Structure 1
């Protein structure tokens, strides 16, 4: 029921164009300090067909990770922050280069903190805090080098 009736009107209220520009800027600024590539994707709700097929947030995040080609970076250091608004679920998918250095428990803790902040009705703070923490992990494990190519766009993705 949440997918049918709630997610679509939260999208524009919680993520207007000005806020999406701030998210883009946080991603761009963070990527100056590391060799990773960070992407934020938000989806208002699942389609009825996806619901009937039994889609789960993790599986959908993996589909998005693949479709956006976040795995296609030189150092395998792409990270997706995926938010599904209707159910207020979040997933972080890290490519194998960063996943080898940051254990899954670290990503799970970020997701739990994100969800807790969302429960208090602060979606913009949840996104910004999470992006900053992901950037900090990437700076720690994939510091920027002299040649720091821009491999993925910084613009948030609305699905």
Structure 2
């Protein structure tokens, strides 16, 4: 456990996300998710978390571990075809993780998700938060469209709205 990380997480208020993930950025992500899901049968959730709580910090939780917890908490797994995908941003550590449900994990390699994460992190380093987020949603949609093309009966099973944790 690094003391700098612990202090940064404990003393940074969650409202700082609102300065970067403004209502306009959140609306753009929402629209990108809706447009993407019209092209495939996957369900995309987008979650941003400012900092971790003390219990996560004490166990030195990685962004991946936290993303899996959020995937479960948001019930991203709860789709008919097991085609839920979580794009998780751990803001203070500047890390992005994508967790795909088992129906997708069999058909889309982890390396493809990793490329999307690293591209998004690079956009964030350049200060392109909204664009990087929307581009990531589109890239996830492109990965889903091949193995899970849309059908005429393509229900929206999970909310499109991004969430600030």
Matched, 1:132 2:154: no
Local SS of the residue matching 1:40: strand
The answer to whether the Cα contact below 8 Å between 1:7 and 1:87 also exists between their aligned partners in 2 is: no
Matched, 1:45 2:45: no
Which of 97, 101, 125 is the matching residue for 1:95? 101
| TM-score, normalised via structure 2 length | 0.91
| TM-score, normalised via structure 1 length | 0.94
Cα distance in 2 for partners of 1:102, 1:120 equals 28
The 3 A distance-change label for structure 1 pair 38 and 80 is: same
Q: Give deviations 1:76-112, integer Å, cap 9, x for gaps.
A: 1110000011111100000111111111111111111
Summarize the alignment of residues 77-156 of structure 1 with structure 2, pairs less than 5 Å apart. 77-156=83-162
Local SS of the residue matching 1:153: coil
2:22 equivalent in structure 1: 16
Q: CA RMSD, aligned part only? A: 1.4
Local SS of the residue matching 2:149: coil
Q: Which moved more, 1:48-57 or 1:28-37?
A: 48-57
> How many matched pairs?
159
Q: Which runs of 5+ in 2 are unaligned?
A: none
Q: Which moved more, 1:48-57 or 1:19-28?
A: 48-57
The answer to whether the Cα contact below 8 Å between 1:24 and 1:154 also exists between their aligned partners in 2 is: yes
Q: How far is 1:50 from its partner?
A: 1.6
Q: How far is 1:6 from its partner?
A: 4.7
Matched, 1:70 2:80: no
Q: Which runs of 5+ in 1 are unaligned?
A: none
